[in-house]
């Protein structure tokens, strides 16, 4: 597969990529760059500051780490929870690909109405107890956090937003973290932290959709992902090995650029809106 040069809307390859995507069945992989137009920052976009997310191992290391996580998340949830799907999310819902695989946890694809979707890393709107495994809603936990920590959000309203629904904040001492309403156990957002593995059934469903593209002469479209982590890159690699065309839409380089049939250096919302017509 020959790598096309980086493209913009003024180059012929841009039109060629649009034509390819319009003619074939699609599987779409999305990353944080898809949600930046909804006001949610990404980890690795051009100009993004260095950010180190909390790992699973750190989260379970003790109460201090969980206090720091939930204090930051308490502030960030109000911002992420109020985000709305942007034109890119809505365009993908209209396109209704064979499967949309998202690395995002913000739930915006679901709210936009995408019919066939796998949230690889889960959804920040869900909470799970690590002891009894009971699930609950993040909205309900937010109410409990607000009751236990009156005035905390107002005192730290200037904290800068981070990806994945948290903020930059060091002053977390004294923040009260409730336990599971059922058993009193440790609560964790029901998302895949760094250091955890994506549940195998999710991975298997995504691999099956990508492999089916070779049989129906489809295309894999990766939008808004730097493909830095293997959870997304593996699907690009699997498609390329099968000879399936790969189109990457992302501002900045990605780990999958050498595998791309077309690499488009354009904004996701603009490109996807044009693609969906």
List the CATH number of the domain containing 202. Answer: 3.40.50.1220
Residue 142 lies in a domain: yes
Q: Among residues 153, 149, 191, which one has the least CA distance to residue 169? A: 153
236 within 8 A of 222, measured Cβ to Cβ: yes
Residue 7 lies in a domain: no
What local confidence, expressed as pLDDT, does residue 2 receive? 45
The pLDDT tens digits for 102-114 are 999 999 999 999 9
Residue 3 lies in a domain: no
Q: How far is CA 150 from the centre of its chain?
A: 31
Task: Provide the domain count of the chain.
Answer: 1
The answer to whether 61 is annotated as binding is: no
Domain range for 239 is: 12-276
* Least-confidence region, from 6-20, 36-50, 144-158: 36-50
223 within 8 A of 28, measured Cβ to Cβ: yes
Residue 2 lies in a domain: no
Residue 6 lies in a domain: no
Distance CA 247, CA 263 (A): 6
- The structure's pTM equals 0.89
The terminus-to-terminus CA distance of the chain in angstroms comes to 28
The answer to whether 252 is annotated as binding is: yes
Q: Hunting for tokens 């992902």 — which residue is that?
A: 225
The answer to whether 206 is annotated as binding is: no
Residue 162 vs residues 44, 54, 58, 165, 235: alpha-carbon distances, Å: 12, 12, 18, 6, 26
Q: Hunting for tokens 């599987």 — which residue is that?
A: 27
Q: What percent of the chain has pLDDT over 90?
A: 75
The answer to whether 103 is annotated as binding is: yes
The answer to whether 86 is annotated as binding is: no
In sequence order, the 6+-apart residues with CB closer than 8 A to the CB of 195 are 55, 56, 57
Residue 131 lies in a domain: yes
Q: Has residue 228 got a pLDDT over 80?
A: yes
**Identified catalytic residue from 74, 89, 109, 121:** 121
The answer to whether 232 is annotated as binding is: no
3-state helix vs strand vs coil in the chain, percent to 5: 40, 15, 40
Q: How confident is the model at residue 170 (pLDDT cuts 50, 70, 90)?
A: confident
What local confidence, expressed as pLDDT, does residue 149 receive? 95
Q: CA-based Rg of the chain, rounded to a whole angstrom?
A: 20
Arithmetic mean of pLDDT, 174-195: 95
Q: Has residue 48 got a pLDDT over 60?
A: no
Tell me whether residue 121 is one of the annotated catalytic residues: yes
172 or 247: whose pLDDT is higher?
247
What local confidence, expressed as pLDDT, does residue 1 receive? 45
Residue 197 lies in a domain: yes
The answer to whether 216 is annotated as binding is: no
Residue 16 vs residues 143, 231, 244, 249, 275: alpha-carbon distances, Å: 50, 28, 16, 14, 12
What local confidence, expressed as pLDDT, does residue 25 receive? 98
The answer to whether 251 is annotated as binding is: yes
Q: How confident is the model at residue 8 (pLDDT cuts 50, 70, 90)?
A: low
Residue 205 lies in a domain: yes
């Amino acid at each position: 597969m020959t790598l096309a040069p980086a493209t913009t809307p003024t180059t012929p390859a841009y039109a060629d990529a649009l034509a390819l995507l319009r003619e074939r069945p699609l599987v779409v992989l999305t990353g944080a760059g898809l949600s930046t137009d909804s006001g949610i920052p990404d980890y690795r976009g051009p100009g993004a500051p260095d950010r180190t997310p909390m790992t699973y191992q750190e989260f379970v290391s003790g109460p201090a780490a969980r206090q720091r996580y939930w204090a930051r998340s308490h502030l960030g949830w109000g911002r992420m929870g109020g985000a709305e799907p942007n034109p890119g999310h809505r365009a993908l819902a209209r396109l209704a690909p064979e499967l949309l695989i998202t690395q995002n946890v913000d739930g915006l694809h679901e709210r936009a109405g995408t019919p066939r979707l796998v949230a690889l890393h889960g959804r920040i709107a869900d909470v799970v107890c690590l002891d009894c495994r009971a699930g609950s809603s993040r909205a309900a936990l937010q109410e409990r956090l607000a009751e236990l920590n009156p005035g905390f959000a107002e005192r730290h309203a200037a904290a800068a937003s981070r990806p994945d629904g948290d903020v930059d904040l060091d002053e977390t001492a004294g923040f009260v973290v409730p336990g599971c309403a059922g058993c009193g156990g440790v609560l964790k957002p029901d998302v895949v932290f760094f250091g955890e593995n994506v549940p195998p059934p999710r991975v298997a469903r995504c691999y099956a959709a990508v492999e089916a593209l070779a049989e129906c002469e489809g295309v894999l479209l990766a939008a808004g992902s730097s493909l830095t982590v293997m959870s997304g890159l593996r699907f690009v690699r699997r498609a390329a090995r099968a000879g399936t065309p790969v189109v990457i839409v992302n501002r900045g380089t990605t780990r999958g650029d050498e595998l791309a049939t077309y690499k488009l250096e354009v904004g996701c919302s603009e490109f996807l809106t044009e693609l969906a017509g």
